[in-house]
Amino acid sequence: MRLIAGNWKMHKTASETEEYIKSFLKFVEHPESREILLCPPFTSLYIAGKLLEGTGVKLGAQNCHYEREGAFTGEISIPMLKELGCEYVIVGHSERRHIFGEDDELINRKLVACLEEGIRPILCVGEKLEDREAGMTFKVVETQVRLALSGLEEHTDRIDIAYEPVWAIGTGVPATPEDAVSVHRFIKELLKDINPKNEGRTRILYGGSVKPGNAGDFMKHSEIEGLLVGGASLDPESFAKIVYSF
């Protein structure tokens, strides 16, 4: 089933989250035909989990720590997330990589922890503009995927991957559907090489300036098995239009 995920980033208080979800659920009364995921900030997860319970709309977190507990001031563990109803967590988003300095080794440790704790990670990969202009898109993506999945080759069926070209995130300039498809095909072939037994069992999502007006153009391609939506997921009606754009 295709996955449409909304990453709210650092937006919405708990009260704003409550207002959003009550409005959004009116637009998605029958979500069975696709998987819908909301990823609010940590402070909104409790209220979101209560409101989404029994609706069919899934709850996810935007980040996690790899340890179950400990002296890690300001961090959130996966058991904490699961108790609030989270079934997914975004790992390795470009903003975590490039603003907060998360490297491939740390991202790998988070993926290991996710699988050990039974929560499904969405691994984000993608190239910066200078990589693209230098013809390094496939090399950058391959490096990120292989390092992130090191030691997890047998479990690629328990992970989703989001291709998010960094130059398209929040810029209003998405990749063309054709560009996205070429990278998605590359990732699929890469995963086949990593573990042929799990071929076709990892969903590849596209993210980067997805809007109601272009979501359908991406989703008409079978290689694109979902969307990770940023800014356009902050309005409930806008996100609902994306959810039902295909």
- Summarised one tens digit per residue, pLDDT across range 182-210 is 999 999 999 999 999 999 999 999 999 99
Residue 175: pLDDT over 90 = no
> Which whole number is the average pLDDT over 139-160?
98
Range of the domain at 190: 3-243
- Taking the complete model, does pTM exceed 0.85, yes or no? yes
With vertex at residue 46, the alpha carbon angle to CA 41 and CA 52, rounded to the nearest 5 degrees, is: 95
93 is catalytic: yes
| CATH code: domain of residue 180 | 3.20.20.70
Residue 172: pLDDT over 90 = no
Are 81 and 45 in contact by the 8 Å Cβ rule? The answer is yes
Q: How far apart are CA 164 and CA 169, in angstroms?
A: 7
The active-site residue, picked from 95, 102, 127, 164, is 164
Instruction: Tell me what percent of the residues of the chain surpass a pLDDT of 70.
Output: 100
Non-local (6+) Cβ contacts of 178 within 8 A are: none
How many independent structural domains does the chain possess? 1
The active-site residue, picked from 93, 127, 184, 225, is 93
Are 137 and 151 in contact by the 8 Å Cβ rule? The answer is no
Instruction: Tell me what percent of the residues of the chain surpass a pLDDT of 90.
Output: 94
More confident: 129 or 150:
150
Q: How far apart are CA 117 and CA 172, in angstroms?
A: 36
Predicted local confidence at residue 146, as pLDDT: 98
Predicted local confidence at residue 31, as pLDDT: 67
Strand partners, 37: 5, 58
Where does the pLDDT of residue 170 fall: very low under 50, low under 70, confident under 90, or very high at 90 and above?
A: confident
Reading phi first (left if > 0) and then psi (alpha if -120 to 50, else beta), residue 170 is in: left
What confidence tens digit (pLDDT) does each residue in 49-90 have?
999 999 999 999 999 999 999 999 999 999 999 999 999 999
221 is catalytic: no
Predicted local confidence at residue 169, as pLDDT: 83
Provide the angle, in degrees to the nearest 10, between the axes of the packed helices 14-27 and 45-52. 30
> Which whole number is the average pLDDT over 168-176?
83
Non-local (6+) Cβ contacts of 20 within 8 A are: 12, 236
Residue 30: pLDDT over 80 = no
Tokens in use for 64?
Answer: 């996690």
Q: How far apart are CA 90 and CA 17, in angstroms?
A: 19
* Residue 198: count of CB within 10 angstroms of its CB: 17
